[in-house]
Amino acid sequence: MTPYELLAIVAVIGAARAILSLRPVVAGSSGRSTAIAREFLDPFIIAGIAAWVLITFVARTYYIPSGSMLPTLQIHDVLLVDKFEYRFHPPREGDIVVFPPPVPTPDDFIKRVIGRPGDTLRIAGGTVFLNGAPLQEPYVAEKPSYNLEIRDYGIYVSYGAGWQRIDSSAANIPPAALWSAPNRIPPHCYIMLGDNRNDSEDSHIWGFAQDGGRFATGARSNAPGGFTGRAFLIFWPPSQAKIL
């Protein structure tokens, strides 16, 4: 349920409560039925407002619809996402983050932070090299079958038959003027990859996610970027429950 849907339900209950407050008391009833109805509606209104505040500003649930984060996250897992943490610091390497991607979609994506602003990053022979050092990634389903390099103010991907620059008409690749160096991730930009590397629509396809501002290029050019929050707990099903 989205915050807007919850707010709409609270509004309907509030309207019903207001109607009952204005309704004349039927003779001989002493207003008992109206009082009982109010007694039941008021807690729903208070609980609904409290829940709206929580899911809007503090935390929300997120349902896993695909296998792009296997084996860490299973299809149908339900997560708790902290929406408050990134008000104090940017995402850290390895965080599992919910965010709006730079491609048209009705839902947020969930991926792992691999590269942050100012980092150098390449993938070669199935290994991610971050700032020149290989990453130890015990969480991946299998090593990526592609190579990737950030260079010349772009993202280049190879599937074994030469390098292809990701097309900025379909991906978020800021213009050179917004980069700090031709081979470093631009300011406010992040490389996000799924743990199921070879079955994940992520930065090797649609470019950079952003911690704010607006996407520079791609299908959602000029749409707002940002991070919804950090996934920190699987709470359903109980057999899968754990802190991330």
- Which of these is catalytic: 83, 111, 200, 203? 111
- Which of these is catalytic: 68, 83, 200, 203? 68
Active site includes 145?
no
Q: How far apart are CA 162 and CA 220, in angstroms?
A: 28
Q: How far apart are CA 55 and CA 141, in angstroms?
A: 31
The alpha helices in 78-236, defined as continuous H runs, are: 203-206
**Parallel, antiparallel, or unpaired: how do β-strands 133-134 and 147-151 relate?**
unpaired
Q: How big is the chain, counted in residues? A: 244
Cα distances from 173 to residues 91, 118, 146, 160, 178, in angstroms, run 20, 15, 19, 23, 10
Strands (E) across 26-72 are located at 59-63
Q: How far apart are CA 123 and CA 23, in angstroms?
A: 69
Active site includes 111?
yes
What number of other Cβ atoms are within 10 A of residue 75's Cβ? 12
Q: Which residues are catalytic?
A: 68, 111
